[in-house]
Structure 1
Amino acid sequence: MPTLDVELNGETVHDIDAPDSFVTDGPFPVVLENTGRSTHVHLHFDDDLDRVAALDEGNHFVGDEATRHVHVRTADVDERVRGKLKIVTGYGSNTTYVDVRVDPSPDTPEESVAVDERFSAPPERTPDVPPRQQAVNALDRLVRRGGVAGAAFGLLAVAAAVAVALAVDSAVVWLAVGLALMIAFGAALVAIL
């Protein structure tokens, strides 16, 4: 099975190094090898190629110096189909196109290969995301949703509540401040996750 290798962040940030053309006669992986900081990559087939090739998802996150394999399904074709794979990084700041050709698959031999039933089904669950990556993803979601301003406002509210509690010096006020902080913290966690 041929592999379409794409290097990300090679010479500069959001740099894409991919071959000019790629030929396949069946499904293939796009291997996104990131040599720098984490990045988001968008993959998209043009209309001609989209009729015979498909991705489960177009947007992909590739961590710091990580490699991600993206599976591309192809339909059986009777004649060659040509099109372009668009690769975008940096939220549109850099774009590269790869000319892709899907050829009819060669005739398969009549003999069959026995395959263990365990290999015919996909795994029951996806692998767990490492804790460090979960933290990076949560921070990314916080920034994209405008949570930085909310977090700053929340810190100011906490400081004001503590100042009032110190000034009044009452157990009831301390209890109310503590309860409000726990509710706000829980709401913030729900919003981030």
Structure 2
Amino acid sequence: MPTLDVELNGETVHDIDAPDSFVTDGPFPVVLENSGRSTHVHLHFDDDLDRVTAVDEVNHYVADEATRHVHVSTADVDEPVRGKLKIVTGYGSNTTYVDVRVDPSPETPDRSVAVDEELSAPPERTPEPPARQRAVNALDRLVQRGGVAGAVFGLVAVGVAVGVAMAVDSAVVWLAVGIALMVAFGAALLSVT
């Protein structure tokens, strides 16, 4: 894993000594090595690099004569991405730029997908059973689910509802019977499938 080494406060206060360029093909640390008094360092990737790199924090405190490692994660790229890393110390009093290039990783898995030739052929269709066999199958599923009692109860309820509607002879009652019939029919269809 390549390391981007940056020396701070080497020659003078807030001095930044960094390489002119840096190349990586994956995540990397920026090692901030402070040779003097404590300092704050701001790291900023320009727009092109910002799309493929990530840093948890951009502002870093480095104590007197201490070293701080800043992890930079990178996204997988298909082609090299170039940009600049801006390094700022002393609250903007000194700035240095490093040309950074993120190359495709040689370990990036092949993104092509192998397709089995069987998948390219249309699926074989099973023939539909005849209507009589479908009705027998539906009735068989209804009986297996214990739906005979429910079916008998539904028929009796529909019969009573029709009888009440005929006796009362009201449009509202006929509407209610129609809705009840549709619900019963829908429930019967759902229980069979």
TM-score range for the pair, normalised by the shorter chain length: 0.5 to 0.7
State the partner residue of 1:46: 46
State the partner residue of 2:58: 58
2:42 counterpart letter in structure 1: H
State the partner residue of 1:19: 19
In structure 2, runs of 5+ residues without a counterpart are 111-193
Q: Distance in 1 between matches of 2:108 and 2:86?
A: 31
2:81 counterpart letter in structure 1: V
TM-score normalised over the length of structure 2: 0.56
Q: Is the 8 A contact 2:76 2:108 kept in 1?
A: no
Q: Distance in 1 between matches of 2:108 and 2:78?
A: 14
Q: Distance in 2 between matches of 1:38 and 1:22?
A: 25
2:57 counterpart letter in structure 1: E
2:66 counterpart letter in structure 1: A
Q: Please state whether the residue corresponding to 1:42 is helix, strand or coil.
A: strand
Change (3 A) 1:74 1:93: same
Deviations 1:78-125 (A, max 9, x none): 000000000000000000000000000004699xxxxxxxxxxxxxxx
Offset, 1:47? 0.2
Q: Distance in 1 between matches of 2:49 and 2:108?
A: 24
State the partner residue of 2:190: none
Percent identical pairs in the alignment equals 91
Q: Distance in 1 between matches of 2:80 and 2:109?
A: 21
Q: How does 1:114-153 map to 2 (within 5 A)?
A: none
State the partner residue of 1:31: 31
Q: Distance in 2 between matches of 1:83 and 1:55?
A: 15
2:60 counterpart letter in structure 1: H
Change (3 A) 1:53 1:108: closer
Q: Distance in 2 between matches of 1:57 and 1:12?
A: 26
Q: What is the total number of aligned residue pairs between the two structures?
A: 110
Deviations 1:7-34 (A, max 9, x none): 0000000000000000000000000000
State the partner residue of 1:143: none
2:34 counterpart letter in structure 1: N
Deviations 1:155-190 (A, max 9, x none): xxxxxxxxxxxxxxxxxxxxxxxxxxxxxxxxxxxx
State the partner residue of 1:75: 75
Change (3 A) 1:52 1:40: same
In structure 1, runs of 5+ residues without a counterpart are 111-193
Q: Distance in 1 between matches of 2:76 and 2:109?
A: 16
Q: How does 1:107-118 map to 2 (within 5 A)?
A: 107=107
Deviations 1:113-143 (A, max 9, x none): xxxxxxxxxxxxxxxxxxxxxxxxxxxxxxx
Which 4+ stretches in 1 moved above 3 angstroms?
107-110
1:22 counterpart letter in structure 2: F
Q: Please state whether the residue corresponding to 2:91 is helix, strand or coil.
A: helix
Q: Distance in 2 between matches of 1:73 and 1:39?
A: 24
Q: Which has the larger radius of gyration?
A: 2
Q: Is the 8 A contact 2:77 2:103 kept in 1?
A: yes
Q: Distance in 2 between matches of 1:103 and 1:9?
A: 31
